[in-house]
Structure 1
Amino acid sequence: MGATGSGKSTFINLAAGSSLATGSGLRSCTDRVQLAPPFGLHDRSVTLVDTPGFDDSAQSDTDILKIIAVFLSTTYERGTKLAGIVYMHRISDTRVGGTSRRNFKLFRELCGTRALHNVVLVTNMWGAVDAAVGEAREAELSTDNMFFKPVLDKGARLMRHTNTLGSAHAILEAVLDLEPTPLQIQRELVDQDMDISLTAAGVAIGRDLEMQIKQLRQSAREARSQLLITNGEADQDAEEELEEEETELCGNIEHLENKWMTFPLEYKQEKAKMDQMLDAHAEHARRKEEQAEERYQREVSELRVALVRVDKDYEKKMKVIQRLIDQNQGEQGSSADKTSTADGYSSADEPKNESKGENSWRETGDSGTKGHKSSSVPPKPSDPEELRKLKAKLKRLQEELEESRRKNSEHMKRAEEDCRKAQRPSGFFENMVNVMDSFFKRVKRIFGFN
């Protein structure tokens, strides 16, 4: 917040890397509340809010208060509190005029005393002044009872912005870890359900309007008196000019009075529009979340089916390998029995003949898993090395399957958690398919499955 042209939008664009409209003079370029895109700062998501100043060149103070109040009350109702408030002031100003004092007074009425410890007063545009001059002005501001001193005494901080990203982020860091506190106008409008014209800021603006109306009425009376004095003595042009001045003054008075009378109603209407817009947006977001969750649940269901199918496929393949192992071991036992009773063999000759039989079998290169008969040479039993390899393959397959189950279980847990949050991670299902496909290819290479 701050006066028009104090550098609020420029500060936000620098800190957030955003592109909010900025002005080059005293004409305001911010006619509404603007939110910069969220950005990260020390693992925190930060959203900066730009507001128009109360000395706006195109809108009245009641309009500005209405705009700010609608935003603050609506966000507060929906559970959002401001972490901090940054008030910008040009150190290049040669003096603190009535407009600046009035702007700062309204800022204080918006915040209230409780929230002042979450306020950072920032002096800006140090590059436009000599350092010594700037420091003298800063000291004056911090000791002026009509400006910064009362706020600093209540816990606010005074910092400099040197137009660098580092100084901008340092200012934000000063409030990020503070306990968010509702502003006074938020408590008045939401917690106390007050009429906006009866809030502290509303009363201050009403008092200013009353003074303006008094001044206009005094000017209108003077114009009427002048018109009566000159009636019949002045020329027609002068008379018409005085009448036009009186009419204009009376019109301004009527406009201000009507503005104040319709102020509470206009606030309620704008608040209702904001609520309606946010409700519509929330409903749209809810429908999108439901659709995303339905799609996600469907994909997760398909994934579960695929995982069960794969699990059964591996179980089947492991059973095939286990049968081969059992058959291999059975044939080895049968071959050993036949070898011990075969012609030309005795228990004394067994080691020699077994060695000979094994060498003969290795020379054939056959797997020796079935179809052998007893002969003068021991039948070709399954190669112990082949059996060892087969068992190793089975063990690897079991380990691969267990690892696959573990990973799939983790993926499913994450998927279900994401479903509950209605926040489907990008590419989750596609990533799962890739993981499974890679695993299948690796197993096929090991076992030669088609």
Structure 2
Amino acid sequence: MGPSGVGKSTFINNYLGRDAARVTHDYSTCTRTVTAFPDSIPDDWLPSPKKRLVLVDTPGFFGGDGSDLDALQRISNWLRPKNIGDGYDRPERHLTGIIYLHDMTQKRMVRETQMSFDLFQKICGPDSCPKTFLVKTQWPRPPDAQSLIRSIDLDNTFFKQMTEAGARSLDLRDDVTERDVVKSVFEKDVANSIILHLQRELREGKTIPATDAGKELRRCLMELLMYSDPSSQREQVAVIKKTIKQLSADPSMRSRIKTWVRQRF
């Protein structure tokens, strides 16, 4: 997981050694669906209680195309598939580990990156931290002094809450490869899978707007709306307002948000 354009699909391709996941090189969101890429477990990782390895590519958030609610819905549907009436029971997915990618070319923490990370934490929940890997990617070659300083700063601020709860921070650079990162996941007690916080909420019967992730997405979009320029970003503002309305889970909340939007715009 990670923000739009951080290199999730590239990570998967580099691990597999082939162009399996579609990659784009502009700022628009490339991955729009949740896609699983199965692979065999390397011989030197055996014996393993798992029969196969599956890497899952997920859409990012806040890529500017207005698909944030769709992305959250697709992730939810993949984690806890719905019964479509075809006679097949589709149990919720159990995960071995979570890899979150952070772009080291960012010289400062932009709003969308912070929002993406906040939403990621709401999706996963604190209980998932011991099996979460926060991977810093897209390093300059060779790493310069400023990048190394930013890396330390990330661990001491941005990632601190999760690492203190058991998450592990890794640098994808030098002789550390995607294979090494995935192997680190396998070394973290693969016999015991994890259920994400979002899955537990869906199991309780909550709708997407009523989940912590849905509420966080609404908060983030309201913040984006606050800093948007209606005159030059008319289409984007319209999409954000529409999504906020869809995320208004109850009539009282919908009324308050409608009043706020009317006063702001």
Report the TM-score range of the alignment, normalised by the length of the smaller protein.
0.7 to 0.9
Counterpart residue identity of residue 3, structure 2: A
SS of the equivalent of 2:102 reads strand
Cα deviation for residue 213 of structure 1 reads 5.2
Rounded Cα–Cα distance in structure 2 between residues aligned with 1:112 and 1:34 = 22
Structure 2 residue matching 1:137: 3-state secondary structure: helix
Query: What's the counterpart of residue 69 of structure 1?
Result: 76
Task: Note the C-alpha offset of 1:162.
Answer: 2.5
Q: How many residues align?
A: 233
The separation in 1 between residues aligned to 2:218 and 2:247, in whole angstroms, is 10
**1:40 aligned residue:** 41
Aligned 8 A contact 1:122 1:159 in 2: yes
Supply the distance in 1 between the matched residues of 2:90 and 2:165 (Cα, whole angstroms): 26
State the distance in 2 between where 1:82 and 1:10 align. 21
Residue 31 (structure 2) aligns with = 30
Q: Which residue of 2 aligns with 1:206?
A: 218
1:53 CA drift (Å): 1.0
Contact 1:160/1:167, CA 8 A, preserved across alignment: no
CA displacement at 1:258 relative to structure 2: 4.1
Name stretches of at least 5 consecutive residues in structure 1 with no aligned partner.
Answer: 221-244, 266-450
- In the alignment, which residue of structure 2 is the partner of 1:160? 171
1:133 and 1:214, CA in 2 relative to 1: closer, same or farther beyond 3 A? closer
Distance across 2 between alignment mates of 1:63 and 1:36: 21
Instruction: Specify the code of the residue in structure 2 equivalent to 1:158.
Output: S
Which residue number corresponds to residue 180 of structure 2?
A: 170
Q: Percent identity?
A: 27
- The CA RMSD over aligned residues, in Å, is 2.9
Which amino acid counterpart does residue 63 of structure 2 have in structure 1? D
Q: Aligned AA for 2:57?
A: D
CA contact (8 A) 2:12 2:57 kept: yes
> What CA distance in whole angstroms lies between the structure 2 residues aligned with 1:254 and 1:136?
39
**Pairing of 1:186-225 with structure 2 (within 5 A):** 186-190=199-203, 192-212=204-224
Residues 80, 92 of structure 2: 8 Å contact kept: no
Contact kept, 8 Å, 1:92 with 1:128, in 2: the verdict is no
Alignment of 1:73-152 (within 5 A): 73-74=80-81, 78-128=91-141, 130-144=143-157, 147-152=158-163
Deviation string, structure 1 residues 309-357 (Cα, Å, up to 9, x no partner): xxxxxxxxxxxxxxxxxxxxxxxxxxxxxxxxxxxxxxxxxxxxxxxxx
Q: Residue 3 of structure 2 contacts residue 113 of structure 2 at CA under 8 Å; is this kept in 1?
A: yes
C-alpha distance in 2 between matches for 1:159 and 1:254? 39
Change (3 A) 1:263 1:206: closer
Query: What are the within-5 Å matches in structure 2 for residues 273-352 of structure 1?
Result: none
Task: Provide the rounded CA distance (Å) in 1 between the counterparts of 2:227 and 2:144.
Answer: 41
Query: Which of 146, 157, 180 is the aligned partner of 2:193?
Result: 180
Distance 2:211 2:34 in 1: 20
Return the alpha-carbon distance in structure 2 between the equivalents of residues 90 and 208 of structure 1. Answer: 20
Q: TM-score, normalising length from structure 2?
A: 0.77
Tell me which of 243, 249, 262 is aligned to 1:259. Answer: 243
CA distance in 1, matches of 2:237, 2:27: 26
- Aligned to 2:30, the other structure's residue is in SS state coil
Please name the residue that 1:413 is paired with.
none
**2 CA distance for matches of 1:252 and 1:171?**
36
AA partner of residue 8 (structure 2): K
Deviation at 1:253, TM superposition (A): 6.5
- Whether contact under 8 Å (1:121, 1:157) holds in the other structure is yes
Q: Say whether the 8 Å CA contact 1:27–1:56 is kept in structure 2.
A: yes
Higher strand share: 2
Letter in 1 for 2:207: D
Amino acid at match of 1:26: Y
| Equivalent position amino acid for 1:161 in 2 | L
Give the conservation status (yes or no) of the 8 Å contact 2:36–2:55. yes
Letter in structure 2 aligned against 1:170? D
Question: Bigger relative contact order, structure 1 or 2, given CA contacts below 8 A and separation 6+?
Answer: 2
Gaps of 5+ in 2: 83-88, 250-265
Give runs of aligned pairs for residues 390-401 of structure 1, distance below 5 A: none
CA distance in structure 1 between the aligned counterparts of 2:75 and 2:248, rounded to whole angstroms:
14
Counterpart residue type for residue 40 of structure 1 = I
Task: Describe the SS at the equivalent of 2:206.
Answer: coil
- State which structure, 1 or 2, has the greater radius of gyration over its C-alpha atoms: 1
User: What is the rounded CA distance, in whole Å, between the counterparts of 2:3 and 2:164 in structure 1?
Assistant: 22
Go from structure 1 to structure 2 and tell me whether the alpha carbon gap of 1:257 and 1:7 turns closer, same or farther (over 3 Å shift): closer
Whether contact under 8 Å (1:196, 1:264) holds in the other structure is: no
Please give the alpha-carbon distance, in whole angstroms, between the structure 1 residues aligned to 2:111 and 2:127: 26
Relative to total residues, which structure has the larger helix share, 1 or 2? 1
The Cα of 1:56 is off from its aligned counterpart by 2.2
Distance 1:206 1:141, change over 3 A: same
Give the letter for the 2:178 counterpart: A
Residues 10, 22 of structure 1: 8 Å contact kept: yes
Q: Which amino acid aligns with 1:12?
A: I
Q: Give the whole-Å Cα distance in 2 for the aligned partners of 1:133 and 1:252.
A: 34
Question: Which deviations, in whole Å up to 9, do the C-alpha atoms of 1:190-227 show, x marking residues without a partner?
Answer: 2x1112101111001122334455667xx77xxxxxxx
Report if aligned partners of 1:91, 1:134 keep a CA contact under 8 Å in 2. Answer: yes
Query: Any idea what SS the aligned residue of 1:155 has?
Result: coil
